[in-house]
Structures are given as C-alpha cells and as structure tokens.
Chains A and B, each alone.
Chain A
Amino acid sequence: MRPDTQVLFERYRQNVYAAAFSICQNAADAEDVLQDTFLQYHKTNKDFNDEQHIRAWLLRAALSRATDVWRKRKRRQEDPLDDYSETLAFPSPESSSLFDAVMALPDNYRSVIHLFYYEDYTVAEIAKLLHLSQSNVKTRLSRGRNLLKETLKEDWNDDE
C-alpha cells in the first residue's frame, strides 16, 4: 500500500514532530525533521504492508534524523533547548515538570521512553523499530523510569 503523502502528513504530523522534538529538543530542528521525514516518504519507492508498517517507518526515519541533528548540536556544543518549552501551554504544572524531566534524560533513553509512553509500542515492537535487542530496550526503559521517578517523585507512578 502507498497512501498519499498529504493524507499521511495530516494523520501523523504530530506524532512525527513529537518524536523528533523528544530527541532534538528544538522546535526549528523538529520542524526540519518533520519535513525531511515526509520528504523521504514522498521519495521512497518502498511498498508498505499496512498502516502500522508506515507509522513505524515514519517514526524510525524521524528518530534517526533527529538523532543526527542532536549529535551535530552536541559536537558543536550548542545547547539545543531554547525558550520554546516556556511558550508551551501545559495543562498543569505536573505536565510541565514531566516534560522537563523527560528532556533531561539521556538521549538514548528518550527515544525508548517516548515510543513506549506516547506511541504505545511494546518492548518487542520498540526493539524491532530501533533495531535493538529486547533486553536493551527493557534496560533503557527501566533506567529511564527510575530517573523520572527520582525527579518527579509522587507525580510518577510505580506502575508501567
């Protein structure tokens, strides 16, 4: 299957943008990653099995591109976080704290945490999507959760 780019863009633009932002932590960079990701889709001749295949492909492409952007910024010793997060209309102070706590996680934890908590992927699905072993995904998830718990305390449950 090969849905029209416009249709997919409307359906997944927020998911791709959020995934990109969770890694590169900069609004302008995330917009660029969003554009690049859908451009890649538009240009690829790949035939997809189903909608889930496309969604996973888009997120993997976005996370890969965002990681490149993030690493380049780190090499240049630029602080990616700008004033953008201060302009976001969080529904509660707890939401804002959670956002900041996730942004403070190491980058290799953030992608796994985001795919699990925002995209509802399972450990096995994340492992397949990021080409990692399931044990590696579990380790990153566990360590990421522990760090969030340390920061957020009672605002982060002990459940999954």
Chain B
Amino acid sequence: MTNKERYKEAFGVLRPETEQWEVQPMKNNIKSFKAKRILAVAAVVVILAVAAVGVYAADVGGIQTALKTWFHGQEVDVDVSTGENGEYNFEVKDENGNVTGSFGGGGVEIGLFGKERKLTPQEVLDANVLDVTKEEDGRIMLYYYDQSYDITDLFSADGKCKVCLAGTGADSGKTVYIEIEKNNAGGYGYSTDFRAHGGKDAYTRLGE
C-alpha cells in the first residue's frame, strides 16, 4: 500500500454529520447572520409582549442614533445604543415618541476566507425587514418592508412555498425571490439571498 493509499484510508473515516444542503440556503443565512435572526425572533416576541401589556421599556441609556425600520408592514422609529459587550440595544417608539418596546442584538458577517465584520445597527435592522409568521387567526403572512401578503394558500403539500416580489431598499429595481419552508418547530424558515433557485417559473409573483 502506498503512502497516499494509507492516508486516504485513514482520513476516509471522516464523515460530516451534515448530509444535505437542501435546506442550507435558509439555514446558513441564518447562521451567517445568526445574531440577526435571533434578534428578529427577540424583536417580535419583545415588541408584541411589551405592547400587549403596555409596559414601558426600561431606559438603556447612552442613546446614540435614531433609525427607522419596518415591523409587520409598519415603519417604526428606533433609537439605538451600544451595550457593554458591543451588542446593540434598540428602543422602538410610537408616533408620540413613547417607547413601546425594546430588544437587543447584533451580528457578524462572514466574508470570503472567513473574515468577519461587525454589522452596523442599520444592517441588523435591515436584516429583519423580511418576516414570515403565522397569525393568531391561522393566516400565514409574509412581511417585507411596507408590503404584507397572505401566503397561506401558496404552500405545497410538503410545506414549501416559493414567491417573488418587487424589491425595496437595497434591492430596489430587482425582483426578490424567497423560498419559505415550514420547520419542525412550527415556525417558518426562509431564504434571504433573494436569488431564484431552479426555474423562476416556480415562484408565485406577489403584488400583482
């Protein structure tokens, strides 16, 4: 046996646990922007919870910047400050300037060759302009900036849905392609690269 054959035999036992890339476009974008997606969940939970009970958010102090973002089709004002560990603290305000919710988060973008870059507060917020959620009345809604669509009937029998719509913000002038899939936790995962995978004809165009 040659050295190469020995080496291949020894290292041939290494097998990654991950066997399918099929769901990876969604999963990996979530991984790449892990903190951002966690932020999205936190934002939804915290904002809804706080708004529902009318609790005034605590002052996180050190407010640096006023930004805007979109939450379920509505544009909201957000103040951002940086926490002790470099994380961002966001405060959501209503039209009267009252704080109606708060959440924290941050993110790192993994670039070519693993180079990491801390996301800006606006990038963290922009990563959350797309959301798919099941409402209390059972409808499955897709929210993207100021657009909102009922996509309940667009899912195939295997729990998948492909839609496209006119891009906004950084994607203005483009068509945004989104794959949505029901996950085991009862929520919905969705692609965020906004590219068509497979034929574009498979995507249902929203907003027409």
Contacts and interface: CB of A to CB of B under 8 A. Distances in A.
A95 B5 CA distance: 10
Given A9-B24, A39-B29, A39-B32, A117 B17 contact: no
B85 interface: no
B28 A17 contact: no
17 contacts: A9-B20, A10-B21, A17-B16, A18-B11, A22-B11, A34-B18, A35-B18, A35-B27, A68-B114, A88-B14, A95-B9, A95-B10, A96-B10, A102-B10, A113-B7, A156-B3, A159-B3
A13 B7 contact: no
A102 B6 CA distance: 12
B22 interface: yes
A38 B28 contact: yes
B6 A98 contact: yes
A141 to B, nearest CB: 11
B17 A31 contact: yes
* Overall SS of chain A's interface: helix
Contacts of A36: 31-32, 110, 114
A39 B110 contact: yes
Nearest to B197: A4
Nearest to B15: A14
B18 A88 contact: no
A117 B16 contact: no
B170 interface: no
Interface residues of B, number: 33
Q: A interface, how many residues as a size bin?
A: 35 or more
Contacts of A13: 16, 18-19, 21
B2 interface: yes
Contact of B112 (A40, A91, A102, A117): A40
A117 B7 contact: yes
Given A157-B3, A160-B4, A9 B21 contact: yes
Contact of A14 (B3, B16, B112): B16
Contacts of A117: 3-4, 7-8
A6 B22 contact: yes
A150 interface: no
Interface string B69-112: 00000000000000000000000000000000000000000111
A46 B28 CA distance: 19
A65 B113 contact: yes
Interface string A80-101: 0000000011111011101100
Contacts of B28: 35, 38-39, 42
Interface string B47-58: 000000000000
A91 B7 CA distance: 12
